[in-house]
Chains A and B, each alone.
Chain A
Amino acid sequence: MKFGVIVFPGSNCDDDMVHVLGTVLGQETVKLWHKEESLEGFTTDDCIIVPGGFSYGDYVRAGAVARFSPIMKSVIDFANRGGYVFGICNGFQILCEAHLLPGALLRNRDQKFIAKNLFIRSETDNAPTNRRLSPGQVLKIPVAHAEGRYYADEETIFQLNQNDQILFRYCDGAGEVNLASNHNGSVGNIAGICNEARNVFGMMPHPERASEMILGNRDGYSIFQGLAEAVAEAG
């Protein structure tokens, strides 16, 4: 089993991802340039990471151009065959633009770039990213985005709730999901979701920036630990 971290022009969390997966978790991890047309050497026992950043300068819409990079055809095929795909921040936006995840990420309600530590609540344990967390568990994870306001129509939100596809919601330090803790205006305070088949995951906060004590916060570690275990079991 191995991890592949896609690098687009403008990705800036790719090295953080390689560091966390490769050095902190000790997993085989390689970078994949977006111009590659195939995921050669990867099987659905492996995992593809779409990292954060500003792919193509966020032109047109965040993720809209990256979604048509040559490698994305293979990533879509990989996901449709059941391979694990995890997108963080810009990666989440790209996966939504590629229709691997439902909904879209709109400009933050207050028009500001938000860069701070926020609290998120794990909503399920039925996903690789959340299996190491108990439902209701609160994590402090940094966010850094201008387009993070999750939006989907009512029917889609109903389905997400119904199918237990909501991974994380923004909350306060005590785990209360309320208006005051909804910093970007996301529908239902949604911070992360998965697809119906539970093999594609996306979240706006950055757990890769909070996965070792030297950074003063290890809350994100469990997310990758759970994912790595699930990928290993799939193999």
Chain B
Amino acid sequence: MKFIAHINIMPKTELLDPQGKVVVKNLPNLGIQGVSDVRIGKHVTIALEAPSEQEAHDKVELACSKLLANVIMESYDFVIEAQ
């Protein structure tokens, strides 16, 4: 079976996100007011084959925890979609 995993990786909430802070400071330059917080992370998609959704889930979980995210500084979540 073919699956696509949609993964979100975000800087941990207790950590300073300098990119997000720069965006918060500069949104008023576009005329956008009232923004109190912006946090910038990554979105990753993985296309994969696996015998079952559970096995696809396990593979993606391993990829996230070992390589795509560093849990010291980032959190992640994902959804798996059957193709």
Are these two chains actual partners, yes or no? Answer: yes
Residues of A within 8 A of B (CB): 60-61, 64-65, 68, 97, 103-104, 106-111, 151-153, 185
Given contacts A103-B72, A106-B73, contact A60 B67 (CB under 8 A): yes
Q: Complex: how many Å from CA A104 to CA B72?
A: 7
Could you list some 23 contacts between A and B, CB below 8 A?
A: A60-B67, A60-B68, A64-B67, A64-B70, A65-B67, A68-B67, A97-B70, A103-B72, A104-B70, A104-B72, A104-B73, A106-B15, A106-B73, A107-B18, A107-B19, A108-B18, A109-B16, A109-B18, A110-B18, A111-B18, A151-B15, A151-B73, A185-B16
Q: Complex: how many Å from CA A110 to CA B18?
A: 7
> When each residue 47-83 of chain B gets 1 if its CB lies under 8 Å from chain A and 0 otherwise, what string results?
0000000000000000000111010110000000000
Q: Which residues of A contact B73 (CB under 8 A)?
A: 104, 106, 151
Q: Which residues of B contact A61 (CB under 8 A)?
A: 70
Contact (Cβ within 8 A) B18 A151: no
> When each residue 1-30 of chain B gets 1 if its CB lies under 8 Å from chain A and 0 otherwise, what string results?
000000000000001101100100000000
Q: Which residues of B contact A97 (CB under 8 A)?
A: 70
Residues of B within 8 A of A (CB): 15-16, 18-19, 22, 66-68, 70, 72-73
Known: A60-B67, A68-B66, A104-B72. 4 other contacts (CB 8 A): A64-B70, A103-B72, A107-B19, A111-B22
Q: Which residues of A contact B67 (CB under 8 A)?
A: 60, 64-65, 68
Q: How many Å from the CB of A189 to the closest CB on chain B?
A: 15
B66's nearest neighbour on chain A, judged by CB, is A68
Q: Complex: how many Å from CA A106 to CA B11?
A: 10
Q: How many Å from the CB of A103 to the closest CB on chain B?
A: 7
Q: Which residues of A contact B72 (CB under 8 A)?
A: 103-104, 151-153
Q: How many Å from the CB of A93 to the closest CB on chain B?
A: 10
B17's nearest neighbour on chain A, judged by CB, is A107
Q: Complex: how many Å from CA A109 to CA B66?
A: 25
Q: Complex: how many Å from CA A45 to CA B52?
A: 48
Q: Complex: how many Å from CA A149 to CA B67?
A: 20
Q: How many Å from the CB of B54 to the closest CB on chain A?
A: 25
A107's nearest neighbour on chain B, judged by CB, is B18
Given contacts A104-B72, A106-B73, contact A111 B19 (CB under 8 A): yes
Q: How many Å from the CB of B40 to the closest CB on chain A?
A: 10
Q: How many Å from the CB of B42 to the closest CB on chain A?
A: 9
Q: Which residues of B contact A108 (CB under 8 A)?
A: 18
Q: Which residues of B contact A110 (CB under 8 A)?
A: 18
Q: Complex: how many Å from CA A28 to CA B73?
A: 38
Q: Which residues of B contact A111 (CB under 8 A)?
A: 18-19, 22
A63's nearest neighbour on chain B, judged by CB, is B70
Q: How many Å from the CB of B22 to the closest CB on chain A?
A: 7
Q: Which residues of A contact B15 (CB under 8 A)?
A: 106, 151
A99's nearest neighbour on chain B, judged by CB, is B72
